[in-house]
Structure 1
Amino acid sequence: MNLKRLLYVFAIGLTPILGYAQENKSLPENWFNLDYEKDGVLGISTERTYESLLKGKKSTPIIVAVLDGGVDVNHEDLKNIVWINPKDSISNGVDNDKNGFINDKYGWNFIGNATGENVHFDNLELTRLIRKHAPKYDGVTASTVMTDQEKRAYNAYLKMVDAYNEKLDEAKYGALNYVALKENIDNLVKSINKDKSAITTADLDSLNPPGNRQKIAIRIAKEEIEKAGGFEKFYDDLTEGANYFGNQVAYHLNKEYDSRSIVGDNYDDAREYHYGNSDVTGPDALHGTHVAGIIAADRKNNIGIKGVANDVKILSVRLVPDGDERDKDVANGIRYAVDNGAKVINMSFGKGYAYNKNTVDEAVKYAMSKDVLLVHAAGNDSEDNDISPNYPNKFYTDSLGAITGVADAWITVGATGPRKDDELLASFSNYGKASVDVFAPGLYINSTAPHSEYKEEQGTSMAAPVVAGLAGMLRSYYPQLSALETKEIIMNSVTKLDDSVRIKLEDGSYKTVKLADISISGGIVNAYMAVQKANEYLIKKKK
């Protein structure tokens, strides 16, 4: 799942232990669609493409599915481009098109139940796996007799326990310190007695706090206001940090918490398909709404932002909670999108452990058989996916984890920034010479947010829909292209840079590399060059 990097973590005495702050460097609006030569930012040249190569050219509407945490289908910038099921668009409680999904007007929600109740929070897959295997392994001693296969499984379990304990300690520490800092900031806000949007450094300077913690809080706030773009933005980031660590402790890493009973399915039956409800928005649609806007926010309504594709319909499939998605739901989400005509599927989610990879692999094979292109976010852990897999992925495996094949029409996307500087490669972005295909803009991305609002987010979750939008553009203007041909064109038309970037290695050290060293294509997707390649490709195909 995509999690925005937080600004900082503070110890109990509010001493900073980790600094991570990024500053929006006065970027032009809609930068991810702009052109480097013309606009000075490393966008994908969307606007240049529409203004020249695609001007006057006809397109055919196609469906792009957004498998995510929910989409606000009534957003002012999305309502005209959302997919509507013409056969089952009336909320009458009847399965009018007899597809097993009652009133699936805008898509389907696999993490809800028939009465309309929805899953909001869930565990990490790591937590679920430990909960599942603990009864089997917690009683193992040095004298326990095991086969070689059982020993491997037991050792893998012990590694998971170590990873879990490390995450839990970090989450508890983070929750404690974010809450402490936020309490002090809240007290300062009460003292100033002004709206958060109007608070300035001068207001903070006017305070004479009695305690050392409040003084440190003022210093922190003053340092971060300018970086964050104002006190209100700083406060929102602080609140997000407190909620993030709090949710980790209460839900993600809580072995006693299990929300699956809400869905009411037979969870062990991976082939069960018809469960859930038609609420494609859910309790928190920020992430999915943001993704949908990047792909195809209305380019013709003169409001909000402009998505990459201008002739696609967004099909929403809700399957990502606040926590890790479940493999059964991912597999069913892919199948549902394929069965309802999606030609491109965006998957801006991922996790470090798989529960039932075979079920997902079978769904991916189904998508491949139906000429569907899958686009997936590489992940936000600054890790090498070749060493630490991010699931789901394009590699089919057997029960022992050995690779048995590859999904050819699959693109994994890492994130880049707007300029040739130390943010050229987003510091959070995963990478991989064999597992990450391309890079795309993923920093400072302004897009749609619930209730017809707009928000800046960052992550490979934002980079993937840039590529999904490009794929949608190509398949709508060049419907003759197959999913695999579309991928090949995108891969062979990237902008390749000689600039060096810095990656974090498994041992915590850093290394300077080129994009070609950490991805298959070695570059950033480029719409202008992709359309040129598409024209060349079709000319060769006719000969």
Structure 2
Amino acid sequence: MATASTAAISAPVPAVVTEPEAKPTPAPAPAPVGDLSSSQWYLKDSRLDKVPGVGATRTYEEILKNRTATPVIVAVIDSGIDTAHVDLKAMLWTNTKEIAGNGLDDDKNGYVDDVHGWNFLGGTDGRNVNAETLEMTRIVAAGRKRFKGKTAATVKPTEKADYALYVKAEKTYKARLAEETERAQQVESMAGPLTLMVGNMKQALGVTTLDTTALRNAKTDDPNLQRAIAGMLDMMNQTSSADADDLLKQLNDGVKQERSMLENSLNLTFDPRTDIVKDNPSDLTERHYGNNDIHGPDPMHGTHVSGIIAAVRDNNLGVLGLAPMPVRIMTVRAVPDGDERDKDVANAIRYAVDNGAQIINMSFGKEFSPQRQAVEAAFKYAASKNVLLVHAAGNENANLDVTNNYPASFYINNTAVPNLLTVGASGPRDNAQLTASFSNYSKKAVDVFAPGVAIFSTLPGSKFGNESGTSMASPVTAGVAAVLKSYFPKLTAAELKRIIMQSAQVHRTKVNLPGSDKMVDFSTLSVTGGVVDMYEAVKLAEKSAL
């Protein structure tokens, strides 16, 4: 989930379902003018507006308007954040015990100048890891050296578990490498012809923009041009492209994405960490490495996630975060363009907990977790400090009852993590597409669904835009949890989880099973069978507070 992916294509596929997505940071732009919250469908109410959002607008207007919010710190473990964003900078957590820029660890917490958070992907010289390998790539690279010439029968008893993991990773790696190689060839072979086609069509139709209106209004008796127009409309429809130029951009993004997958994610010799971070990745006791650059090389994903949770609500500008002003965002950078490392995730959780976070959003995940025990120890540490963890279920349209996705919803001994919510993604209509086509699901391992399709939020450069993924559904849920904690500060992490699950609006709509044409009851795809409902959650919290 931490890596971008492009589905097998007969037409260009939009670069949306990514965790985090590898995109260049948009150039800074003038601050936007006006309130853009009308684009936030997920704030609407299922009963009042007939849109399966979380009911945030209704909740503030009807229940919370006379209540006083209290401070809450939400840690976002992600790719980084645009600290200068006009709709976010006022919401950044500040470590008041640290003096900015003096090069000293003023609060003696082991992290120098961690004013707004910390970056576990950086070096002391200021450089940062951006692209990384997948976890399976790292396991295969190490395993081929360690187990060369060995078999299950010849490895030592103490090595059998590691060998079994290597064999599994090797099989998965070979299949993924073949798949991505073929996909790269497909998208690259399409880029040139489609670019030429768009140019020729603009010239033939005498237009500078090929949008759906121009194509549908085109008048021509040329059967070749008619077929080309029909094909272009079909591709734009499949990819939800605004126009042909947007379609080309998506295709070219797909080309870059596939190149990065082959050159970085699946490259057995690619190892940026050794040169930059200079830690020992296998030393799980090592805590104090990295730097204080929480922006990072590409803060797109983390900026979008943070805006969903807590973009400024009262500035009549941009979008409305779910949580109110006393809530603050602590940024912990631990998610590269590739798979996050278990060591970094564990340390990011511990850093957030030790510095006062009460809720932690984790919009990342992967298929292998060789140091799972370290992450689970951090989960237990968070539980001991009454911290709620919210995790994206993943975007592989897979059943997590039979497919691994880490961090997992259960400990190694199969007991549930009491302070963890795992969230699938839902869409803006209560119909067959209520379940996002990409979302993972599970009657046991996914607790609840939340809006995760076309979620409008903050982007770097004080911009705004839509992204889709369980990466977005998780912060929607974390934002609702922050609202509950802010207005009802005595609620424990376990109570926050219980209230969000009990108040979820159960839907019995017949929906497409993700990744299939099969129709199923939406209520069978998660533990609760419902979509997060802030309105009902706040009402339930009121009763619990009596």
Fold equivalence (TM over 0.5):
yes
Answer with 148-157 or 511-520: which moved more.
148-157
How far 1:9 sits from its partner (Å)?
Answer: 2.2
In 2: Cα distance, 1:200 partner to 1:433 partner: 42
Cα shift readout 1:339-358 (whole Å, capped 9, x = no counterpart): 11000000000001002011
Alignment match, 1:13? none
In 2: Cα distance, 1:385 partner to 1:203 partner: 42
Query: Partner amino acid for 2:400?
Result: N
User: Alpha carbons of 1:159 and 1:313: their partners in 2 closer, same or farther (altered >3 Å)?
Assistant: same
User: Alpha carbons of 1:203 and 1:336: their partners in 2 closer, same or farther (altered >3 Å)?
Assistant: same
Contact (CA 8 Å) 1:197, 1:230: kept in 2 or not? no
1:515 aligns with 2:522: yes
Contact (CA 8 Å) 2:13, 2:250: kept in 1 or not? no
1:198 aligns with 2:209: yes
Alignment match, 1:370? 385
Contact (CA 8 Å) 2:432, 2:509: kept in 1 or not? no
SS in 1 for 2:91: coil
In 2: Cα distance, 1:215 partner to 1:355 partner: 54
Contact (CA 8 Å) 2:324, 2:483: kept in 1 or not? yes
User: Alpha carbons of 1:536 and 1:301: their partners in 2 closer, same or farther (altered >3 Å)?
Assistant: same
Q: Kindly report the root-mean-square deviation, in angstroms, between the aligned alpha carbons of the 2 structures.
A: 3.0
Of the three residues 314, 321, 334, the one matched with 1:319 is 334
The equivalences for 1:331-346 within 5 A come to 331-346=346-361
Alignment match, 2:372? 357
Alignment match, 2:301? 287
Q: Which runs of 5+ in 2 are unaligned?
A: 17-36
Answer with 323-332 or 162-171: which moved more.
162-171
User: Alpha carbons of 1:242 and 1:216: their partners in 2 closer, same or farther (altered >3 Å)?
Assistant: farther
SS in 2 for 1:38: coil
Alignment match, 1:49? 59
Alignment match, 2:270? 257
Contact (CA 8 Å) 1:319, 1:329: kept in 2 or not? yes
In 1: Cα distance, 2:328 partner to 2:165 partner: 43
Cα shift readout 1:71-101 (whole Å, capped 9, x = no counterpart): 1111111011111112224112122222111
SS in 1 for 2:361: strand
Contact (CA 8 Å) 1:70, 1:284: kept in 2 or not? yes
TM-score normalized by the length of structure 1: 0.88
Of the three residues 452, 456, 460, the one matched with 1:450 is 460
Contact (CA 8 Å) 2:143, 2:163: kept in 1 or not? no
Of the three residues 228, 240, 246, the one matched with 1:233 is 246
Alignment match, 1:381? 396
Query: Partner amino acid for 1:415?
Result: A
In 1: Cα distance, 2:371 partner to 2:345 partner: 10
SS in 2 for 1:37: coil
User: Alpha carbons of 1:160 and 1:216: their partners in 2 closer, same or farther (altered >3 Å)?
Assistant: farther
Of the three residues 166, 177, 180, the one matched with 1:171 is 180
User: Alpha carbons of 1:389 and 1:97: their partners in 2 closer, same or farther (altered >3 Å)?
Assistant: same
In 2: Cα distance, 1:39 partner to 1:135 partner: 59
How far 1:497 sits from its partner (Å)?
Answer: 1.2
Contact (CA 8 Å) 2:211, 2:242: kept in 1 or not? no
Alignment match, 1:161? 170
Query: Partner amino acid for 1:308?
Result: L
Contact (CA 8 Å) 1:439, 1:524: kept in 2 or not? yes
User: Alpha carbons of 1:197 and 1:96: their partners in 2 closer, same or farther (altered >3 Å)?
Assistant: farther
SS in 2 for 1:101: coil
1:119 aligns with 2:133: no
In 2: Cα distance, 1:216 partner to 1:450 partner: 39
Cα shift readout 1:370-423 (whole Å, capped 9, x = no counterpart): 0100000000001111211210123222xxxx43x4320110000111112221
Contact (CA 8 Å) 2:15, 2:253: kept in 1 or not? no
Of the three residues 276, 279, 302, the one matched with 2:316 is 302
In 2: Cα distance, 1:203 partner to 1:483 partner: 53
How far 1:206 sits from its partner (Å)?
Answer: 10
Contact (CA 8 Å) 1:438, 1:525: kept in 2 or not? yes
SS in 1 for 2:173: helix
How far 1:203 sits from its partner (Å)?
Answer: 8.5
Cα shift readout 1:144-203 (whole Å, capped 9, x = no counterpart): 535778666545433322211111112111212212222233445666599x98344758
How far 1:322 sits from its partner (Å)?
Answer: 0.3
Cα shift readout 1:38-89 (whole Å, capped 9, x = no counterpart): 2221000000000011011001011000000111111111011111112224
User: Alpha carbons of 1:3 and 1:111: their partners in 2 closer, same or farther (altered >3 Å)?
Assistant: closer
In 1: Cα distance, 2:241 partner to 2:188 partner: 19
User: Alpha carbons of 1:218 and 1:246: their partners in 2 closer, same or farther (altered >3 Å)?
Assistant: farther
In 1: Cα distance, 2:228 partner to 2:306 partner: 37
Of the three residues 69, 79, 90, the one matched with 2:89 is 79
Query: Partner amino acid for 1:51?
Result: E
In 1: Cα distance, 2:53 partner to 2:315 partner: 22
Alignment match, 1:538? 545
1:40 aligns with 2:40: no
User: Alpha carbons of 1:219 and 1:161: their partners in 2 closer, same or farther (altered >3 Å)?
Assistant: farther
How far 1:240 sits from its partner (Å)?
Answer: 2.1
Cα shift readout 1:424-453 (whole Å, capped 9, x = no counterpart): 111111111111111100011111110011
1:248 aligns with 2:261: yes
SS in 1 for 2:513: strand
Alignment match, 2:24? none
How far 1:28 sits from its partner (Å)?
Answer: 5.5
In 1: Cα distance, 2:259 partner to 2:94 partner: 37
User: Alpha carbons of 1:464 and 1:291: their partners in 2 closer, same or farther (altered >3 Å)?
Assistant: same
SS in 2 for 1:381: coil
In 2: Cα distance, 1:20 partner to 1:233 partner: 9
In 1: Cα distance, 2:524 partner to 2:193 partner: 45
How far 1:513 sits from its partner (Å)?
Answer: 2.8
How far 1:280 sits from its partner (Å)?
Answer: 0.5
Query: Partner amino acid for 1:309?
Result: A
User: Alpha carbons of 1:277 and 1:235: their partners in 2 closer, same or farther (altered >3 Å)?
Assistant: same
Q: How many residues align structurally?
A: 517
1:272 aligns with 2:286: yes
How far 1:243 sits from its partner (Å)?
Answer: 1.6
